[in-house]
Every structure is written in C-alpha cells, then in structure tokens.
Structure 1
Amino acid sequence: MASQPAGKEAVARATAAVSAGIKACGAYNRPDLAKRLERAAASLAEPSVPVVVVGEFKQGKSSLVNALLGANICPVDDDVATAIPTSVAYGEQQRAELVLEGDPPVREPIELSDVRRWVVESDPVTAAVEPEPVNADRGRPVGVEVTLPRKLLSGGLTLVDTPGVGGLGSAHAAASLAAASMADALVFVTDASQELTRSELDFLIKARNLCSAVVCVLTKTDFYPRWRTIAELNAKHLRELGEPPIIPVSSTLRSQAAATGDTALNTESGFPELVTFLSAQVGGGAARRRAATAAGEVATACTQIEAQFEAERAALDDPEQAKRVVAELTEAKERAAALKSTAAKWSQTLTDGAADLTSDIEHDLRGRIRGVLQEASDAIEESDPADTWHEMESWLEARVAHELIENYTMLRDRAIELSERVGEHFREASGGVLDAIAVRNPEPMLAGAKIDHKIELERMKVGKQAMVALKSAYGGAIMFVMLGTLTGVSLGPIALGIGLVMGRKGLRDEKQRQRSARQSQAKNAVRRYCDEVSFVAQKDSRDTMRAIQRQLRDYYTGLAEEFNTSNAEALQRATEAAARTKSERAKRLADIDAEMDRLKQLREHAMAVTS
C-alpha cells in the first residue's frame, strides 16, 4: 500500500480531480452537480486550520506564539496579561485589524505597533493612552487579526493567542473552551515551574471532549533545571486523556537561535518538534480531510452521472426489458420527487427533532440557571454582601459562563445526533452533514449583561453607629425615666445603664436590618442578571437551532433535487433507447461504454487522492 501522501500533495491531487469533475458536469449538462464541486474547490483553495493556544496566566503563551512566528506580534511583559484574543494567519503583506463586536463583526485597520494597546489589560505603558475611536457607534473590541508572510502559516494554519484561563471557574476559561470547540487543534501551555494543577487537568479534560487534537507544551525549560522531572509527572497525569504529546520548549532559546542562525540552539529549544507537529499532523491532517471530502464529492457526482448511462445501457442492451427499466425508473422518479415533500420521513424527522431539541435546550438552560440562583442565594445567606459582593460578581459571571458552555455543548452534540438520524431516513444520504457544530463563545453575549447590584455596600461608619446607639440609648433612658416619674420611683444612674443596654441592642438590630437589606438586594441583583442572561441565551440558542435546521433542510433538499434530476435524465435516456433501431443501439452502446470508462477513471482518480 502506498504511503499516505502529505497534506499539500493530497490537496493538489484533490484539486485536479475536482477540476476534472467540474468539466465532466459541464459536458454532461449537470450544473447542479457542478455547483457542489465548485464549493468543494473553494474549500480547497481557501483552507482554514485554527489552532488555539490556551493556558493559565503567565505561562508563556504569547512568547510561544511570537517564537513560532519569529515576530513580536503578541505583547509579552511581566505586569500585563492578554485581554482579548489575537489571531495570526498567512498573508502576503503584514497587516492588523481590530475586530469590534457586531453582527456581523466590524473590522478596522490598525497599525501593528498598536496591537499591544488593544490586546493587553492593565498595561502601564498605554493605560493613559486610549486609542481614538473611529466612529461614535463602535462596538466593544473582541479580538485582533494579524496576517504575516510566514511559511508555517501558508498551509492555512491560524494561531490564536487567548487570554489566560484563570482557573477552570473563570469566564476566560469558558471562552477558551468555546474557541477549542471550533479549532482543529489545541495547544495547551504550562510552564516547567510545577506539574499540572487540578484546575489545569480539569480544563484539559473538558477541552479534549471538544477538540480531539491536543498537544501540551511545557515552556520555560531554560529557566527551570528540573523540567524533565516535571515533564514526566505531567505525562503521568495526561494518561487519562489518551496521552497527548508533551513538547518541552524554550522561547528564549528559540529567539536567540533565530537571531544568531544557530541550528543546534534551535534544536535545543524544542521548537522544531512543535513546528513539525503543527505543520505535519495538524495542518497536514486537516488538508487530508479537506482533500478526502472534496474527492468524495467528485466520486458522488460520477456515480450519479453513471446511473444515467447505466439505465440507458440496460434499455439498449435488451430491448425486451426496456419497458421494465422504464417502469422502474418511473417508480424511482416518484420516490425522488417524494423526497422533496415536507411529508417525507427525513423532513418530518428534522422538523420534530428540531422542535424537541429546542425545548430540551431551553429546559436544560432553565435548570442550570436555577442551580446557579440557588447556590448564589445560599452563599449570600451565609455572608454579608458588604464583604463578599465583589467576589460574588466574579464567581457569578464565571459560573454562568460555564453553564452556558455546557448548554451549547449539549446543543452541538444533540444537533449532530439529529443530523445522523435525518441521514438514516434519507435515501443514499451520507449523514453527519454538520460534522462539527461550533459552540459559541458566550463572553461577547455576556458582555451585554451587566450585574446591576443596586446594593448599599457601605457599612455604617463609626459616626453613624454612634448616632444609632445614642438614639436608642436616649430613647430607652427617657422611657424608663418617665416610667419612674409616673410610679414615683427615682431610677437615677440605673436609667443610664438601661439606656446603654438599649443603645447596644438598637445598634445590633440596625446592623442586622441593614445586612438583611443588603442580602435581599444581592439576591435581586443575581436574579436580574440571570434573567437577562437567560433571555439572551434562549434567543441565541433558538437562532442557532434554526440555522442548523436550515442547513440540514437545504442540504437534503439539494440532494433530493440532484437525485430527481439524475433519475429524470436516466428515464429520458431509457425511453429514447427503446425507440432506437438495432444499428443505432450498437453505435450508442459503444459511446456509452466509452463515457462510462471515462467516468470510472475519474472516480478512481478521486478515490485515490488519500489512498
């Protein structure tokens, strides 16, 4: 068996096969099949292989990306952290664009030198220098896109430097998981200072369920002499994940090697192994998958065109059986026409399945939000919002973000199952139309939902406490003095002691009243925030489900149209064949054999693309 060709070679062979297939569709008057192959050609010409770089804060993600590209694109500093993702793709010219929130997102050109001020948080250099807004209605910056003429990126690789996950419970972690679901590969970065933490392992377990290609990169090996021990410990931890590769690297050595041209130093840096993994396994694997998909489209088109000739050949070869062939094709035509009807089983399965899934997703979301509300309420009851509200806000945002990720993951998985069920009910359908339905990043959606607490967080100051105590003490003392006067008993100093007791009790009661008020306000704030998020998330999940339903509907409707066209053409040819003379049939049989040989060669050429 021939060895599997490299990704670029497979793409080149698939491109040639698709080009020949488009010409064949034109020659056989099948523009519907040609459109399908043109879409396949477009996917081969403009590949996209996103590789997401994730990890905790200060693990060397940005340095890793810069070292891979040989350019200082991602800001690196000890006192700043990445705030929004930076994606770097191939381009003939160096350029950068700021991506602003919107539907669709708005892109504005920026200078490469301005990337830093947009993608970092708490930057002491640029904190006082805000970029001038291009227009008054600009949205919130959600990313920066950079293009560079780098060989590593020429095959379609796009490196995405993400904010630090900040622990599994952070909103950044939720965003990174969302990005992982849409990536061809995930590069998890951890430094050699210590073995993988529990939160890092938990994040990797979740990420592995969303992205099958994962590599763990151990950074800063030049700084920590015991990095080999750490690498061995990490390898043990990763066995439960299927033992993804661990690649130790040093960005510092890589940069020095690039500056001096030292090949040995570059090898010592560990980057050649990482480059090989990204270009050969990730980029090459994605290229082979695209090539195989395109080749499959060519083979399918050949099969449909061949069916036309096979029916005609059967009628020509045995005139006595021509009527039977025509009758079978007529029946098949009716079945093909029925596939386009809304009463078709696949259509009913799609409609009912989409409705059920929408209901299940909304019920799941309500259950998750209810759980968050209960946890928040219990936590508020056990504490004073004056002390804990800021931590509560961070926890609430992260908790809701992760529940949304779980909800969208459920939507993706169930939608794939639905596509497979629809495929099972569709004649000759391949199923799995949506091989990977992306989990959306909830962070932009959550950005519009602010926690409006309206809580009086400030405790009573000493002066106010004194006034409350004096008020209660004075009232208590007056009450008992008046009581003594009425009864003819002089309380004297005792009234002062009673007043002090009353003042202390009044102050304690006022503090308790204010704490209860803050707790009530905090619960209301949590409820308002969750209601707002639920409102936005339910609308978004409904829109997502409708888009999925339309994709499945359009795909199978188009497939039904192709089957109907193929069958109609075959019926016409078989009907005409029945009326031919003996000499005409002989000549036509020779022509059909020649055409079928050409189609067979084209199909075999397509199927050999990845063999």
Structure 2
Amino acid sequence: MIAGIWLDVLDEIARTCGAHGRGDLLQTVRQKRVQLLDPRLRVLVVGESQQGKSQLINAIVNAPACPVGDGRTTVLPTVVQHAEVPSAALVQAPPATPGRSAAALPGTGERTPVPLDQVPAGVAGTLGRRPGGGPAYVEIGLPRALLGSGLVLVDTPGTEEAAALGAAGPTAAPAWADTVLLVSDSTRELSAGELTMLLHLARSHPNVVLVQTKTDLVPDWRAVAERNRQHLAEAGVAAPVIPVSAALRLRAAAGDDRELNAESGFPVLIGRLQRDLAGKSDRLARAAVGVIARTVVEQLAAPLRAELESQEVEEQSGPISRLHAAQREVDELRRCSTRWQNTLADEMADLLSDIEYDLRDRTRQILREVDDAFDSADPLVSWDTFQEWLERSLTEAAEANHEWLVRRCDWAARRVADTFARYGGDVLPPWSVTAPADPAEGVPELERPAVDRFTTSQKLISGMRGSYGGLLMVGLATTLAGMPMINPLSVGVGALFGGKSIRDESKQLLRRRQAVVKTAIQRHVDDFFVRVTKDRRDAVRQVQRMLRDHFTALTEELQEGIIRSFRSAKQAADTDAAVRDQRQREIRLKMTRLAGLFDQAQQLTGGRPAPAPLEPRP
C-alpha cells in the first residue's frame, strides 16, 4: 500500500507528460519507474581523480574488486554486484543511431566475458571494447552477503565537473542511482569543483552523501571534516559527512579486528547504505518522486508561463495598442504636415532672396568691368568686340545663376523630405528645373548708341577758333613792339592754340561718347536683370507648387494607411479577445493541475498522507 501511493503519483506524472506532448519527459519518468521498482540499491561513487573511490568500494565488499594505483586506473565505469561465483564482463551498448540512443537502460548491451586477471585492463578501456560502439562499462560479480542483500556499487572515472558524469552513458549517470557517494580525501578541504558538483547533485538527486576518505593519513581529519560540514551548510547542501579509512577497514578485515573496523568508519557508512536499501521502496522512492515531480513540473510549467506572459504582452501590444499607436501616428503626421509646410515656405523665401542677390551681384560685376573698360576705350573703335563680350558675359551669368537655382531647389526639396524621415522610403518627387534655350530671351538687343563723331569740318572750325584767339592775342602784343599784327610769332602761336583746341574738343567728345555708352549698357543690364529675375521667380513658384502638391499627396496617402491600420486593429481586437481569453483559461487550468500534482508529490516527502490516486494504477 505504501508503494502504491508514490507509484500512483509517479504514474500520474507520466500521464501528465503524455498529455502535454513531452515524450522525452515521459520516457524519463518510465525509466525512473523501472528503477524505483527494482529492489536493488544502486550506489554511485563519484569524485575527482586520486581520491580513493575504487579503494572505497574494495573496502566495502572486502575484496579487490576495482583496480587501484597511483596512475589513471579507472577509465570505464565499474559495476560491482552479487554473483554466486566471481566473474567479470565488459558490457557495451550498440552505437547511437537516429531515433535510438546509445544505451537506454543500465545493464543492456552486448556482454563480453573478461578473465579475472585482466579486469584492470578492461577497466582501463584497453580490453574487449569495440571501436565505434556505444558507452561501455565493466560488470564484476562477487559472492558477498552485502551484495546479495541487493547492494550494487558503481565506480566512476575521475571527473572535474558534475556535467561530465553522464559521459559514459546511463551506468554512470546520477539519475540512475539510488544513492550518490561523493568521495573526497582528508588531505584537504572540499575544492571549488567538488562543491560545484555537490550543488549540482543536490539539486537533481534526493540522496547524496559526502564520504571523506584516507583519515589514516591525516591526524587532524576531524577538523577537515568539520570544515567540510561548514562548507556544505553555507552552500545549503543537506548531505551528511562520513569520514572513513579504507586501509584500516581492509586491515581490520584481514585480522578480524572489530575495534579497528569501528575506527575505520565503515560501519557507519555500511549502516547508512543498509538503511537506504531497506527504505528504498518507501523513503527513498518518495524523495525520488518528489525530485522528478519538481523537475517535470518546472519543465512543463515553463512554456505555459511563457505563453501566458506572451498572451499578456500581446494583450498590451495587441489591436488596442495598435489602435493607440495609429492615433499617435495621426497626431505625429499632423505635426509633420505643419513642419514640412513651414519648411517649404521658409526655404522658398530664402531661395528667392538668395537667387536675386546672386544675379544682382553678377550683373554689378559686369557693370564694373564696363566702367573700367570705357574709362579709356573709345566706343567708336571697340564697340563690336565689346558687344560680343557683353552678351557672352550676361549669358554666363544667367546660366550660373540658373545652375545655382537648380542646386538650391534640390536642397530645399531634401530639407522638406527630411521631415518625413520617420516614415522611411524615398519621398523625393521626380522633378527638375530646366534652363530656357536663351537665358536672355525677351530682353531687347543692345543696339549701338548714337554718339557724336569728330568730323573734319568740326576739327577745322575748332582749329580756326583756337588759332584766331592765339593769333589776335600775340599779334596785339607784338604791335606794341613796332611789329605788324601778323608776323611769324603770332602765326606760330595761333597754330599752337588751334591744335590745342582740336585736342580738347576731341577729348570732350570722347568722354561724352563713353558716358552715353555706359548709360546705354546700364539700361540694357537693368532690362536683363528684370527679365531674368522674373524667370527665376516663376521657376521658384513652379517648384514650390510642385513640392506642395507632392507632399500634400504623400501626407494624404500616409493618413489613409494609418486609418486602414486603425480599422484593421479594431476588427482584430474583437476577434482575438475571445480566442485569447479562452487560451488563457486553458493555460491557467493546466497550471492549476500541475500545482496540484506538485503538491501531491511534496506530500510524499513532507510526512503528510498523500491524497487518493487520481486514477487506478495499471
């Protein structure tokens, strides 16, 4: 009846694993069921190398079952069990194949007899082991009363970390052991690796014992044992510490010395193993069921909790959240619309001012060059060359100004597009600003201005006027000296004054011609500036209208997409709410059942009576 209580709980755990679709856990529970129903007590001896694990087993059975030595003697796990006559065999599982593990249960596999004198070679892995096969171990049978009562001892290779314990297959795995003895000698306190191993074993196994060996070699082994107990208490590991000496045990057995045997500490250890053997079907089984129940419930509840949390997160980030997000997008799009309109207006205003200033600066530079040229040049001589230069200079100024206009329009379009950066994609419009065929089209052609020419008759009249004054002035002066009015001196001075009059008149006419030409060019350049400025303003307004229309259409398109998303989220909210609520109820019901199953398993180890079986045990 006692076995039926924990067995019913274990069977219910198996059914729960099947209901959750966890075949791996179901297989583990079934294997644990087979192990717990086995009346034998499997004792797994683990620990680091050179700690005396093999000698400990030899001392327990009082026979040289496991090879010992200073080197690495144990490579394969060694199973010591009862047999009518001493025997040894190498058991090797078949190689692992897809869908089948290398060894499902301890004791299964191909058996190869090993001569007793070659047991050390078999344990060292150099005899009888087939290449490419699965995990292997050595099985030794001895006719011992202690082993005949159901005790099975498993010696394992030395290891530095608990994760490597299962590397040799299920034979050396703590999951298949009823009791785990972790061996550490008395020459030092527990190492960090041993403490880590103990923590790992305590979490996954209900019955762990720390065996402190080689007490005969260390006088203060009791102090070491006490410090080890403190380490275990600080780590939260409820494992007893049993100090022993295999050398004293074997010496006492050889001399049948009871006092020496008691001093070896082995009566305490063997008594513990006998109590575990007697309590396997009740106390140990209850504790094992409690551990496997905790493991199974944790693994089954973890995805349920994760799904429940994801359901809650989905509820927070589901259609209603998307609806709020869509409303925020509408508000952001409204602010974006205000930003891009203000940006467009500011950029176009700055563009008009800059383009007009640039054109004005270029035409002023041309006028300065005109003034410099006609301060010395005669329009009558250089007009044709100058007219060609002026037309070319104005055309180049218009083209340069137009090129800058294109670059500035493109830059302004990108500035406006930057306000839509959060929506991604290429939002620039496919637009271009082209220059007219003739930048000066519509501007009247510069005609040669009407300028006064200095004709021969004008030169003659100017010369006579100047010479008459000189002749008269000098002639009157010479008459006072008794000379006639017309004399060589007065004629020479008159000729000199006549030439000066001609030169002065020529310079005055040149300055008048230069002033007339500068005035005419000034008017022509002003006409050119007004005409080109009008074209630039028209082009800027055209670009502004095009950008306005493009980004307005883009804003409307984004707004329509957000509205569609809003409607879709509203429809999805009504549909998903019922499905989500139903799934949450199912998850909570499964969690409640798992909690009830966990409580049942914990009642087995808490001393409280377990509830009635959920279903009849098959």
Larger RCO: 1 or 2 (CA < 8 Å, sep 6+): 1
Sort the TM-score into its range (normalised by shorter chain). 0.3 to 0.5
Larger gyration radius, structure 1 or structure 2? 2
TM-score, with normalisation over the residues of structure 1?
A: 0.40
TM-score, with normalisation over the residues of structure 2?
A: 0.40
